[in-house]
A and B are shown apart, each in its own frame.
Chain A
Amino acid sequence: AQTVTQSQPEMSVQEAETVTLSCTYDTSESDYYLFWYKQPPSRQMILVIRQEAYKQQNATENRFSVNFQKAAKSFSLKISDSQLGDAAMYFCAYNGRSSGDKLTFGTGTRLAVRP
């Protein structure tokens, strides 16, 4: 079974600085997608960024980028120029071809942004 591990329950970053959230996963599949979701205090889970395992190029979305290390099964999220609105829970999720549409989530990292 696939597992997703987020080893940092809480992180803190100064406004305008850069922070990296870590995520590792375990799978025997070669064809899968990885996702980072953000859950602000409003509780609405929002997709931040996604990465296809077959793409070597790391995905980027404005201030958000990933460091995808397939061999190490690592998928970290880098937030540049952190803003107060980035404060939220961040969840890493995995979906493999054999899982169909059933996502496997990590336990989340709570990010605080200091003004």
Chain B
Amino acid sequence: ETGVTQTPRHLVMGMTNKKSLKCEQHLGHNAMYWYKQSAKKPLELMFVYNFKEQTENNSVPSRFSPECPNSSHLFLHLHTLQPEDSALYLCASSSPSKASAYQETQYFGPGTRLLVL
């Protein structure tokens, strides 16, 4: 596998279910990101992890719980979601240095299409 992979690609869940999204990067990067993509809205950054430490939580509801066990893996644990949480969830990775983080390109996975019933 190369690049950034995400599983599952599609997920349908009820509001009382618990599920997890998985992201894996094979690029040797040290930072990983979760984005939410809803129709006709800009991508929303949810979480940022750098060297396994969470550096950003963009006011995301607690029903979304991220986990980053190492620099190559990122999870998003979902529980008691709402229908408005239905969206495409994208994972990305990069190698930002402290001095030049803004210069680095982020590489994205194919996303997980989530439908909450």
- Residues in A lying within 8 Å of B, measured CB to CB: 4, 9, 31-33, 35, 37, 42-47, 50, 52, 91, 95-97, 99-108
Give B103's nearest chain A residue, CB to CB. A33
Which 5 residue pairs are nearest across A and B when measured between Cβ atoms?
A: A45-B108, A101-B96, A101-B101, A105-B43, A95-B102
Chain B residues closer than 8 Å to A101, beta-carbon distance = 31, 33, 48, 50, 94, 96, 101-102, 104, 106
Give B99's nearest chain A residue, CB to CB. A97
Are B111 and A44 within 8 A (Cβ)?
yes
Q: How many A-B residue pairs have CB under 8 A?
A: 59
A52 to chain B, nearest CB (A): 7
Chain B residues closer than 8 Å to A45, beta-carbon distance = 90, 92, 108
**Contact among A33, A44, A52, A106 with B109 in the assembled complex (CB-CB below 8 Å):** A44
B115 to chain A, nearest CB (A): 14
Chain B residues closer than 8 Å to A35, beta-carbon distance = 105
Residue of B103, B109, B113 with most partner-chain A CB within 10 A: B103
Supply 24 A–B pairs (Cβ within 8 Å), ascending by A: A32-B102, A33-B103, A37-B108, A43-B110, A43-B111, A44-B108, A44-B109, A47-B105, A47-B107, A95-B103, A96-B102, A99-B102, A100-B96, A100-B101, A101-B48, A101-B106, A102-B45, A102-B56, A103-B106, A104-B42, A105-B43, A107-B41, A107-B42, A108-B42
